[in-house]
Amino acid sequence: MTTITMHPSELAYAFSYSETTDIVGWGRDPFLPTTEADGDPKRWYADGAARLAEAGRLIGTEEDGLNFTDEVTSAVLTLADPVLVLMAQRKEGDGMRRFTVHMAKETVLGLTRHPDGMFELTHYADLTAATLACVGFLGAARSPVQAGARIDSTQEALAEIHQLATNGQADVASAKLVKLGASSQDAASIQQAMAAPSAAGMLSILYCADNVARNARPFSVMTNADDDTWILFPPASLEGPMVIEQSSIPALTARVMVEIAAWLKLSA
């Protein structure tokens, strides 16, 4: 696992050579100038080129031709044309923190942004490690080892329960969960995870082609104060069932890995 930090102008400059502006999981804005002082895009790119050269990431001479280092080349190609992106979005008040993992060929690359605007790029050895990083980022619980209780319902029913739980109608929400088949203990745990999570967010598997997310497998991930993690997801389309299941770091990591493997088999 190795990490480098890059200025957004460095990335913007490099992306432009791959004819890419939007990065899956981020769009384009984070790589564009954010302040008046950053000036027009031409200066932004020139600044990016200068920073890359200074950091030894853009090598060679103008006369003989310039090249990105292998490290930057593989990072740019992975970000610009991934086959798979894991997008972890963690709730922080009304806002969110973002962490994405991009895969292409043999590269598994994590991307986050610091408060100063710098991007952190982390190379992971494999997808298992990167998935664990995403699940850890979302604050999932360490246990139970195996996935726990599971309720198959619908989007409408669970949305209503969520609404009740977050509007202070804990008892009504729990009662509805019990009616769907949850034990009273699990119902209380789910209700707490919905109403007052200690950590919450989304983990989305985005299957990509031509730098477009073609299909998504999103999971809402909620952990309550008792360190119970519940995930909520539609196994098929939104018109199909919606499932809520007790999960954990190993269980969610396994679910993601198996889901990706299944997708690959079905898409091969």
Partner 1 sequence: MTSNIEAIRAAEAQIPKWRDELRALQAEAHGDDGVVDAEEQAEIDQVESLIDTATRMIAEKLQAWVDNKNAYEALRSRIASDLSTVEANNDEAFSQDKRAVTDAASSADQAASEEDYATALDHAQELERLIDTFLQKVENERLNGLTAEELMEISLADDALDEVFTEEYMEELKDMKFAGAGTPELKEVIKKIEKGLSSANRAEVLGELAEIVGEPPTVADLDADYARYLILVKQRDAIGDQKGQAEPDGVDEQKHPDFVGSNEQLMFGKVLGDALGIHEVFATLLSPTGGLVGPGNDLIPGQLPSPHLSPDNIVAVHGTVHDAAGYLDTFHEEGPGYNYRGSEIEEMIFDGFEFIGLEIEEHYKGQASGIWYWGSEKGLDGALEDGKEMAEEMFDDAVVELEKALEGVRADATEEIDKIIAAFEETKQEAIDKANEIKEDLEDRAEEAAEDLGALVDEIEAEVLEARDALADGVEKVSETVVEKYEEISDAVGDLAEGVGEKLDALANFIWN
Give the contacts of 42 (CB within 8 A, at least 6 positions apart): none
As measured in angstroms, the least distance from the Cβ of 154 to partner 1 is 12
Q: Does 38 bind partner 1 (CB under 8 A)?
A: no
- Kindly write down the DSSP assignment for every residue of 188-230, as one continuous string: HHHHHHHHS-SEEEEEEEEEEETTEEEEEEEEEEEE-TT--EE
Subset of 4-33 contacting partner 1 (CB under 8 A) = 12-14, 16-20, 22-28
# residues contacting partner 1 (CB under 8 A) = 134
Subset of 164-223 contacting partner 1 (CB under 8 A) = 166, 194, 200-202, 204, 206-207, 209-216, 218-220, 222
Site mask for partner 1 (CB under 8 A), range 66-105, x = bound: xxx----x--xx--xx-xx--xxxxxxxxxxxxx---xxx
Q: Does 225 bind partner 1 (CB under 8 A)?
A: no
Q: Does 157 bind partner 1 (CB under 8 A)?
A: no
Q: Does 36 bind partner 1 (CB under 8 A)?
A: no
Of 128-136, 168-176, 177-185, the window that binds partner 1 (rule: CB under 8 A) is 128-136
| Backbone torsion region of residue 5, taken as left when φ is above 0, otherwise alpha when ψ lies between -120 and 50, otherwise beta | beta
Which residues in 18-161 belong to E strands, given as ranges? 58-61, 65-68, 84-92, 95-104, 107-113, 119-124, 150-153
Count other C-beta atoms under 10 Å from residue 230's C-beta: 27
- The CA R_g of the chain, rounded to the nearest whole Å, is 21
Q: Does 233 bind partner 1 (CB under 8 A)?
A: yes
For residues 47 and 188, which CB has a smaller minimum distance to partner 1 in the complex? 47
Place of tokens 């001479």: 61
Q: Which of 6, 11, 108, 195 binds partner 1 (CB under 8 A)?
A: 108
For residues 134 and 182, which CB has a smaller minimum distance to partner 1 in the complex? 134
For residues 87 and 170, which CB has a smaller minimum distance to partner 1 in the complex? 87
Q: Does 261 bind partner 1 (CB under 8 A)?
A: yes
Q: Does 234 bind partner 1 (CB under 8 A)?
A: yes
CB 163 within 8 A of CB 170: no
Cα separation of 196 and 210, whole Å? Answer: 39
